[in-house]
Structure 1
Amino acid sequence: MNAARLNDDANERGSAQNHGASVGLTADKITIRGGIPLIGRIEVKGAKNLVTKAMVAALLGETPSVLKDVPNISDVRIVRGLLEVHGVKVTEGAKPGDLILDPVDVESAHFAAIDAHAGSSRIPILFCGPLLHRLGEAFIPDLGGCRIGDRPIDFHLEVLRKFGAVVEKQPNGIRMSAPNGLKGAKLELPYPSVGATEQVLLTAVRADGITELKGAAIEPEIMDLINILQKMGAIITVDTDRVIRIEGVERLLGYNHRALFDRNEAASWAAAALATDGDIFVGGARQAEMITFLNVFRKVGGAFDICDDGIRFYHPGGDLKPVIIETDVHPGFMTDWQQPLVIALTKAHGTSIVHETVYEQRFGFVDALVEMGATIQIHKECLGGHPCRFGQRNFNHSAVITGPTKLHGADIVVPDLRGGFSHLIAALSAEGTSTVSNVGIISRGYENFIGKLRLLGADFDLEG
């Protein structure tokens, strides 16, 4: 299919994307009539895994910040609420997706207000460093998040202690203070955790002295957060051996920044195009941050065209091929990419293996696929090329997918964010009708996914 056809299809569906904006965020159930190729163009905005951290970084500045391409997702609204209860003025910019964050009147917030806005989000833990710098104290409630494995905050707390924070666990959460200010520290991560690296960056930039972090995560979203902090006045160097050094500064100013595109959402729509025999142009996607995904996509049998304004993903015809995938930290194959791609692998001719090495419980979404007719077996052993840290811990972290199999409609309950979008792809590619419940979770990371499905020609109804 050529670009003109894609644009024609998008124009014919017109305002469908806007029409689904509010509905997609509130609907609890979607009934999908599958078997229709997804065709058309959608746009992706800033990465969920960057924009929320960039919003927190605005707390560190003495002047307002401007963040562009902010998606309208529930995680962004949670962070906005948390900023506002701490006295940050958040307003819409001149263009859709622009936010102005003014931290001039930062103040302490009451526990009840923090708890009410945080919900199940884990983002409050990253408020601690900036609030300790601004106010000398911070409080976080019990933390939630997707149930995909262990995401302990113990290392976050240990990091803050090493910077000089006093951490006090209370029945309803954790209170922190910095009676002597925060000082630079030497730290080493046992695993290159994205969240822990973000914690160090947001705390170290205004700590007194030099901080050295070994074993740091270097995902594109981390590098973009470093770009933002440097714009604010931070001094940060990144070595090739995962060592980040931060020289603390006395003051930071606001930033003006366009967020990195959401490569997870882009990969999800790419997988949807492949699984439905479709043709989707993902506006805003870029090649550089997706090289690893693009290689695997091509090995499976998918095709793509790199353009100045995005990437076209499509099924070129012919049989899909099995692959062996091991998820890993950047620059490896992202854990968030494997779940949507598994749906396409059920259509590949042969046996594929997915070895999950980042989260130990990321195959909970597979049960629904088996019910829909997929042939997938889950194993405790490391079935990729290398043993991983879960190999001796009795976790089901390897999947064997045998295809091709035809998926049929079923009733599905969304378990988590990425698994939920994978269930949508399964229903869209299946024969017959599927009902997918608890779809509100998907709005945590996919802006207006209902409107985008309409734009691509999906056949569905909403309920609740």
Structure 2
Amino acid sequence: MNTLPSESTPPANGIRREDGEILEIRGGRPLVGRVDVKGAKNFATKAMVASLLGETESVLRDVPAISDVAVVRSLLEVHGVTVADDGEGTYRLDPSGAESAGFEEIDAHAGASRIPILFCGPLLHLLGQAFIPDLGGCRIGDRPIDFHLDALRKFGAIVDKQPSGIRLSAPEGLHGADIELPYPSVGATEQVLLTAVRAKGTTELRNAAIEPEIMDLIAVLQKMGAIISYEPNRVIFIEGVDKLRGYDHRSIFDRNEAASWACAALATDGDIFVAGAKQQEMLTFLNVFRKAGGDFDIQEDGIRFRRAGALRPVSVETDVHPGFMTDWQQPLIVALTQAEGVSTVHETVYENRLGFTQALNKMGAQIVVHPEGIASPDRRVPRRALEQAAVITGPTPLHGADVVVPDLRGGYSYVIAALAAEGVSVVRNVGIIRRGYEKFFDKLTALGADFDVIG
């Protein structure tokens, strides 16, 4: 029987703690059952920041109980926003008491999160100033904030880099801008949206990200009174308005978590129903899942994932939406270690995201990483200087090992690999996984995983 902390009573901040940083996992059994996915981590946190722009209370529904949400909540409260939740995922955010916060407070509550960068536009509109401490995040590659700072400068912000961080001010207010991103960065697109809606004049953003989470953020801002239109060629137009009101919105589901559980079904030869998952936002993933030997049933309230037989090798190139997401490749690689043949995963978004495969090799996988990528006549995604490629030869039986979680998606992948492996594994530093997976231990238990929290 699993030993894990109780999650029956949420504390005041809405996060149910899963104490313990080390899992002992006894693998070799399929994961079978149902998991429910709530709002997307990559949307809910940004919608919470957007509440700063309104003059009245906002209501955000289906907010996941994850540590990233707790960080944003703390940062909002430090800035005087009143945040209340019902313990079931509905948050009420009242910005009427918003005020400046000191460096020490912001730094203490931000931790390793990169979310503070997105507070800049709303705080500049609201207070005329903002501060960004040294930014952290997952160690999956260089995530420069230059895109953000360059955009803010074009809006009229003054950027002052200091030893402790970056201080921004806008003594003359912010104005519309003509911006073209060098890469369709999700974070930079969010920055422009959150800044342009209250800037004087019109903003044209070219080479914008168009992920479903971006479209949902646009929907939230439109509910607040913003005027935003977009074209199919990655161009977004924002007409600034004088004021915005609060919103009432239900978060888009977390397609990253849904894909993770789908890959878990594939890797362990399991059968998992992911409640809340929807087909449209996962079309690209579902195609690759089917090519790799998976089967799925689209239902009104979710998607059922399982194997259709022996797993088959595939070639995948990560890309911005509507391409195959970089967050999907890590759990997929675990499943591909059991495919009959040679698979190739081209990682074109982050330069260090294949480092997690070393631990999989320790568990018996046969994965070779090409640090400069692999050229191929079949490639469809343009090559980038930072890209890498992983060549996975299978099937290779996995066995237990002692591994340390490097980042969010890599950490999830280690847990699934341990559950697919024969023998006992020890997975350390699992707290990182709570950044993006709600009630992770409870969900593993519901699927029949055999594990203990040992430290």
Q: Normalized against structure 2, the TM-score is what?
A: 0.96
Residue-by-residue CA offset, 1:257-309 (whole Å, 9 max, x unaligned):
00000000000000001100100000000001000000000000111001111
Quick one: which amino acid aligns to residue 446 of structure 1?
Y
Q: Is the 8 A contact 2:148 2:188 kept in 1?
A: yes
| Distance of 2:151 and 2:398 partners within structure 1 | 47
Q: Is the 8 A contact 1:325 1:354 kept in 2?
A: yes
- 1:50-449 equivalences under 5 Å are 50-93=43-86, 96-316=88-308, 318-379=309-370, 380-383=372-375, 385-386=378-379, 391-392=384-385, 397-449=388-440
Residue-by-residue CA offset, 1:134-179 (whole Å, 9 max, x unaligned):
0001111010000101100112111111000011111111111101
Residue 332 of structure 1: SS of its match in structure 2?
Answer: coil
Quick one: which amino acid aligns to residue 410 of structure 2?
G
Instruction: Classify 1:17/1:356 alpha carbon distance in 2 versus 1 (closer, same or farther; 3 Å).
Output: farther
Instruction: Classify 1:215/1:23 alpha carbon distance in 2 versus 1 (closer, same or farther; 3 Å).
Output: closer
Q: Is the 8 A contact 1:17 1:452 kept in 2?
A: no
The alignment status of 1:46 with 2:42, answered yes or no, reads: no
Residue 361 of structure 2: SS of its match in structure 1?
Answer: helix
| Distance of 1:174 and 1:96 partners within structure 2 | 36
| Distance of 1:200 and 1:146 partners within structure 2 | 23
Quick one: which amino acid aligns to residue 273 of structure 1?
A
Quick one: which amino acid aligns to residue 233 of structure 2?
D
CA drift at 1:25: 2.9
Residue-by-residue CA offset, 1:190-233 (whole Å, 9 max, x unaligned):
11000000000000000000000000000000000000000000
Quick one: which amino acid aligns to residue 40 of structure 2?
A
Q: Is the 8 A contact 1:159 1:187 kept in 2?
A: yes
| Distance of 2:213 and 2:312 partners within structure 1 | 31
Residue 18 of structure 2: SS of its match in structure 1?
Answer: helix
Residue 305 of structure 2: SS of its match in structure 1?
Answer: strand
CA drift at 1:92: 1.0
Residue 101 of structure 2: SS of its match in structure 1?
Answer: coil
How many pairs does the alignment contain? Answer: 447
Q: Kindly report structure 1 stretches of 4+ aligned residues shifted beyond 4 Å.
A: 15-24, 387-393
Residue 316 of structure 2: SS of its match in structure 1?
Answer: strand
Residue 26 of structure 1: SS of its match in structure 2?
Answer: coil
CA drift at 1:338: 0.4
| Distance of 2:286 and 2:190 partners within structure 1 | 27
> Which of 432, 448, 451 is the matching residue for 1:457?
448
Q: Is the 8 A contact 2:34 2:447 kept in 1?
A: yes
Q: Is the 8 A contact 1:24 1:451 kept in 2?
A: no
CA drift at 1:391: 4.9
CA drift at 1:27: 1.4
Gaps of 5+ in 1: 1-12
Residue 25 of structure 1: SS of its match in structure 2?
Answer: coil
Quick one: which amino acid aligns to residue 84 of structure 1?
E
Residue 116 of structure 2: SS of its match in structure 1?
Answer: helix
- The residue number in structure 2 matching 1:35 is 28
Instruction: Classify 1:35/1:388 alpha carbon distance in 2 versus 1 (closer, same or farther; 3 Å).
Output: same
Residue 76 of structure 1: SS of its match in structure 2?
Answer: helix
Residue-by-residue CA offset, 1:15-40 (whole Å, 9 max, x unaligned):
99956988863210000000111000
Residue 297 of structure 2: SS of its match in structure 1?
Answer: strand
| Distance of 1:121 and 1:392 partners within structure 2 | 26
| Distance of 2:5 and 2:74 partners within structure 1 | 28
CA drift at 1:319: 1.0
Q: Normalized against structure 1, the TM-score is what?
A: 0.94
Residue 40 of structure 1: SS of its match in structure 2?
Answer: strand
Provide the identity percentage.
68
Q: Is the 8 A contact 1:23 1:450 kept in 2?
A: no
Quick one: which amino acid aligns to residue 345 of structure 1?
L
Q: Is the 8 A contact 1:355 1:383 kept in 2?
A: no
Gaps of 5+ in 2: none
| Distance of 2:16 and 2:225 partners within structure 1 | 41
